[in-house]
């Protein structure tokens, strides 16, 4: 073989030239190694350039294999590449950490702020149930991760539904930053079965019992009676103040909550409960008509039923169901009129609130 330097003949298996001492074979170039997490610098044989490279993310394939994404820059010298890879790491580390907590803060300051107070409270509770995932990057979470936390923290339908709603909002925001994220992933979550029992309205006899109790001196009976006759929700009743009420116009303004329809529409006051509301205003001319905690308000409500001799368990929402049922079935009010009284967005809400009894059904069939 010929020496690569002096061009003299030497033995074929020679590693060094016996004349000039030149090494005859080139060892393969080794890429310099850096510590984990500090990026890497290596020589690209094809481009004949030095590469500064850092890992910017990872994702999972359908067969559960990890695929990394990289950021690279090319340089003519290794020195320049080493300087740049350090700067790239600094810039990457100062970038936002796109975790579940990061996107919830964005959601909380944005769209969530336009929701009702109760819905915002429900979404914060739902977010707290996701605590084990707060510091996980959204792009690294799988459907199994989400389902495991949801199933472990929620045994009923509506809390799980709130968790899914929060995750949907987070994933839509995350997908705007990273197209590899599926914004509809939370929609595949399995929720517990909805086991919603029908709310029972007050019967005519039970309403009379409340009236007799009120006239006998049980002032607390005014609470269920006012809610039955106006269709008010418990939260609306609790926030009532004297300046919201106009007895001359027979309406209440500013007490509506939860939906846009209930917020913008005034609550109509029937003639029968004007004396009850007048007594409340007289006792509390300033501030809340029911200056007490939510727990005490509910306690007062249930005690008023007990004092009236009502033995069935009728929740405060039974009052609103009574309003709809009495007007729709007993008074035969038109659906559109009932929609206005109840402050619904659609008459389809009748399917949920109007509950005919067996006696109502018997009266109906006897008219055939």
Model confidence over 47-88: pLDDT tens digits? 889 988 887 766 656 565 667 778 888 998 988 888 888 777
Which candidate, 347, 240, 254, 353, places its Cα nearest to that of 292? 240
pLDDT tier for residue 27 given thresholds of 50, 70 and 90: very low
- pTM as predicted: 0.57
Sign of CA dihedral 130, 133, 139, 141: negative
What are the structural domain ranges in the chain? Answer: 40-94, 100-188, 204-365
Query: pLDDT for 266-311, tens place per residue?
Result: 999 999 999 999 999 998 888 899 999 999 999 999 999 999 999 9
Instruction: Please check whether residue 202 is in contact with residue 266, taking contact to mean a CB–CB distance below 8 angstroms.
Output: no
Query: pLDDT for 30-40, tens place per residue?
Result: 555 555 657 88
pLDDT > 90 fraction of the chain, expressed in percent and rounded:
54
15 secondary structure, DSSP code: S
**CATH code given to domain 204-365:** 1.10.443.10
Query: pLDDT for 66-75, tens place per residue?
Result: 677 788 889 9
**What pLDDT does 368 receive?**
79
**Bridge-based pairing state of the strands 245-246 and 66-75:** unpaired
Structure tokens at 35: 């510590």
Instruction: Please check whether residue 178 is in contact with residue 277, taking contact to mean a CB–CB distance below 8 angstroms.
Output: no
Helix (H) or strand (E) holding 225: helix 222-230
In the predicted structure, residue 17 carries a pLDDT above the cut 70: yes
In the predicted structure, residue 154 carries a pLDDT above the cut 80: yes
Query: pLDDT for 99-114, tens place per residue?
Result: 999 999 999 989 999 8
**What pLDDT does 35 receive?**
59
Q: CA of 19: how far to CAs of 9, 26, 27, 187, 262, in Å?
A: 9, 18, 21, 77, 101
Q: Which residue has the higher pLDDT, 357 or 31?
A: 357
Structure tokens at 188: 């595949």
Rg of the chain, C-alpha, whole Å: 36
**What pLDDT does 64 receive?**
59
pLDDT tier for residue 93 given thresholds of 50, 70 and 90: low
Q: Which residue has the higher pLDDT, 345 or 35?
A: 345
Structure tokens at 336: 């559109």
**What pLDDT does 14 receive?**
81
Instruction: Please check whether residue 40 is in contact with residue 53, taking contact to mean a CB–CB distance below 8 angstroms.
Output: yes
Q: What are 49's strand-pairing partners?
A: 44
Q: Is 100-188 CATH 1.10.150.130?
A: yes
Instruction: Please check whether residue 41 is in contact with residue 77, taking contact to mean a CB–CB distance below 8 angstroms.
Output: no
Sheet-wide strand order for 66-75? 40-44, 49-60, 66-75
Instruction: Please check whether residue 192 is in contact with residue 156, taking contact to mean a CB–CB distance below 8 angstroms.
Output: yes
pLDDT tier for residue 179 given thresholds of 50, 70 and 90: confident
Cα(164)–Cα(83) distance, integer angstroms:
45
pLDDT tier for residue 20 given thresholds of 50, 70 and 90: confident
Domain 100-188 shares a fold with domain 204-365 = no
Which candidate, 108, 73, 112, places its Cα nearest to that of 89? 73
**What pLDDT does 196 receive?**
64
Instruction: Please check whether residue 2 is in contact with residue 9, taking contact to mean a CB–CB distance below 8 angstroms.
Output: yes
Instruction: Please check whether residue 229 is in contact with residue 272, taking contact to mean a CB–CB distance below 8 angstroms.
Output: yes
In the predicted structure, residue 337 carries a pLDDT above the cut 50: yes
**What pLDDT does 61 receive?**
62
**What pLDDT does 28 receive?**
47
Taking residue 179's Cβ as centre, other Cβ atoms within 10 Å add up to 8
**What pLDDT does 26 receive?**
52
Mean pLDDT over each residue of the chain, to the nearest integer: 87
Instruction: Please check whether residue 203 is in contact with residue 357, taking contact to mean a CB–CB distance below 8 angstroms.
Output: yes
């Amino acid at each position: 073989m010929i020496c690569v330097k002096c061009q003299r003949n030497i033995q074929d298996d020679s590693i060094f030239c016996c004349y000039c001492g030149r090494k005859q074979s080139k060892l393969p170039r080794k890429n310099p190694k850096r510590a984990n997490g500090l990026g890497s610098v290596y020589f690209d044989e094809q481009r004949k350039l030095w590469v500064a490279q850092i890992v910017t993310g990872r994702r999972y394939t359908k067969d559960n294999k990890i695929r990394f994404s990289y950021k690279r820059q090319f340089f003519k010298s290794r020195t320049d590449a080493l300087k740049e890879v350090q700067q790239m790491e600094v810039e990457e580390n100062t970038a936002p950490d796109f975790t579940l907590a990061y996107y919830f803060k964005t959601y909380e300051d944005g769209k969530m702020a336009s929701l009702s107070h109760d819905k915002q409270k429900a979404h914060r509770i739902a977010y707290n149930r996701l605590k084990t995932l707060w510091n996980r990057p959204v792009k690294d979470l799988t459907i199994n991760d989400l389902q495991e936390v949801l199933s472990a923290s929620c045994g009923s339908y509506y809390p799980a539904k709130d968790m899914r709603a929060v995750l949907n909002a987070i994933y839509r925001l995350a997908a705007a930053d990273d197209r590899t994220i599926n914004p509809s992933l939370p929609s595949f979550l399995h929720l517990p079965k909805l086991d919603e029992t029908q709310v029972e309205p007050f019967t005519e006899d039970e309403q009379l019992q409340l009236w007799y109790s009120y006239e006998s001196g049980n002032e607390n009976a005014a609470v269920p009676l006012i809610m039955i006759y106006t269709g008010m929700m418990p939260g609306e009743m609790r926030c009532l103040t004297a300046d919201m009420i106009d007895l001359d116009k027979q309406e209440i303004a500013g007490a509506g909550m939860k939906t846009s329809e209930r917020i913008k529409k005034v609550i109509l006051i029937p003639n029968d409960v004007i004396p009850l509301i007048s007594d409340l205003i007289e006792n509390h001319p300033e501030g809340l008509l029911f200056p007490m905690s939510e727990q005490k308000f509910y306690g007062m409500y249930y005690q008023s039923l007990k004092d009236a001799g009502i033995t069935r368990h009728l929740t405060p929402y039974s009052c609103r169901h009574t309003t709809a049922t009495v007007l729709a079935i007993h008074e035969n009010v038109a659906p559109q009129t009932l929609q206005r009284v109840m402050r619904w967005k659609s008459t389809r809400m009748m399917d949920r609130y109007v509950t005919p009894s067996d006696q109502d059904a018997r009266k109906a069939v006897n008219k055939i």
